[in-house]
Amino acid sequence: MADKLLALVKRNYEEIAVEFNSTRKKEVWPKMRELAAALPASANILDLGCGNGRLLEVLSNQVKYLGIDNSEALIKLAKINYSQREFRVGDILELDQLPETNFTTIFCLAVLQHIPGRDLRLKALKQMSAKLAPSGQLIISVWNLWQNRKYRSLLFKNYWLKILGRNKLGFNDLLFPWKNSRGEEVSERYYHAFTKKELKKLARLTGFRIIELKRDQHNYWLILENKNK
């Protein structure tokens, strides 16, 4: 099931890349600006699930940057949007194939929610830890689907279907359609709805120290310090 969901996520971003790129040219989240402003000019940044490179809108030109995404279509768009920066096609679950290491900061924004199952999420976090410098920071955001009434209703419905053996997805997992600007359903998406408790547990199991865990209108923000080296 996990392999099917990972394939679905990859296919989804290939299918929606052009429209995704256009919708992600709006004003970035205030929290992104806040976090970027705190980075030193010497920062060495890995942007996992970089999409169209939007994070660069708030980063200083002085920082070192590498963007990774498993969508070839989005990486092509990122290279057009920010031609002076480096982007590569890569998988968050195969970071051991990335030769670079000792990043001072890793951004993983709206990505972990697309990884099915606790084992794979732990694998991703452990691989991120291996790529961080000692005391480097991992900055994670995930959608807070619980604050949205529509998604909350779907989550409760799926929970009871799971109890009854009629839902093959994991607890707190959702499948729902991506709609284009005309309201047409064009692709199916997979999300995991994280809770604050779950995020804390993932951090603890992977040996990170939690610096900050906060919730805003749309997201959970988790800032971790690497204590594994």
Q: Is residue 128 part of a domain?
A: yes
CATH number of the domain to which 132 belongs: 3.40.50.150
pTM: 0.95
Whether residue 14 is contained in a domain is answered as: yes
Task: State how far the Cα of 181 lies from the Cα of 190, in Å rounded to an integer.
Answer: 20
Low-confidence ranges of the chain (pLDDT < 50): none
pLDDT in tens, 85-97: 999 999 999 999 9
- Within a domain: 138: yes
Domain residue limits at 134: 2-145+194-226
Whether 137 is covered by a domain: the verdict is yes
Residue 162 lies in a domain: no
Total domains in the fold of the chain = 1
- Residue 17, domain member (yes or no): yes
What is the per-residue pLDDT for 185? 84
Q: Is 102 within the bounds of a domain?
A: yes
Q: pLDDT > 70: what percent of the chain?
A: 97
Residue 177 maps to a domain: no
Helices (H), the chain: 2-23, 30-37, 72-81, 118-131, 149-163, 196-205
Please write the tens of the pLDDT for every residue from 130-175: 999 999 999 999 999 999 898 999 999 988 988 988 889 999 999 9
